[in-house]
Amino acid sequence: MGETDLIKLYSQRILALAADIPHARRLDHPTATVRKRSPLCGSTVTVDVVVTEGRIDDFGQDVKACALGQASAAIAGGHMIGRTRAEVERARDELRAMLKEGAPPPQAPFTGYDVLEPARDYKNRHASILLVLEATAEAMAEAEAAA
C-alpha cells in the first residue's frame, strides 16, 4: 500500500467518524450482548442492545478496531435506535456486497457508508468494517430468541 493509497483510504472524513462514535458505551441491562472479533486484524466490537417490540430501544458499543472499523461503527451507531433485525441484516448484507462485489452502499436508514467505498480494494479490512453490523444482527437474533 503506497502513501497515496493510505491517504485516500484514511480520508479526513473517515478519521472524523472514527473519532466520534455514537453510543460508545456499554449498557447496564441489555436484552442481548454480542462480542465479535476479526481474526485477521484483531479488531473487536462488543454490542449491547435493548430490544422492545422488535426494535432497538437502546444501543451501546465498545469498539477496539482500526480507523475503518471505527468509522463503520460510527456510521451504524448513528442509525441504530428504532431499527429492526431485518433492517440491520439488510444493511449488513448490503455493506458486504459493497465491499466484496462492488455493489452500491447500504440504503436508508443506513446511509453514509459511501465514505468506505475505497476500502473495497483492501480485503484485509473488510472483516473489521463489517463487525458492528454482524454483532448487532446476532444480538437482535439472540434478543428475539429470548423473548
- Looking at the domain that runs over 3-146, which CATH code has it been given? 3.90.1010.10
Residue 85 scores a pLDDT above 80:
yes
Give the mean pLDDT of 63-68.
Answer: 93
**pTM of the model as a whole:** 0.91
Terminal C-alpha separation, the chain = 47
Whether residue 3 has pLDDT greater than 50:
no
Q: What is the mean pLDDT of residues 66-76?
A: 95
**Residue 33, beta-bridge partner list:** 48
Residues forming beta bridges with residue 47, ordered by sequence position: 34, 61
Could you tell me the three cell numbers for 54?
A: 422488535
Q: Is 145 helix (H, G, I), strand (E, B) or coil?
A: helix
Ranges of H-type helices in 10-122: 12-18, 67-77, 85-101
Spatial distance between the Cα atoms of 115 and 29, rounded to a whole number of angstroms: 33
- Domain ranges for the chain: 3-146
pLDDT score of 8: 60
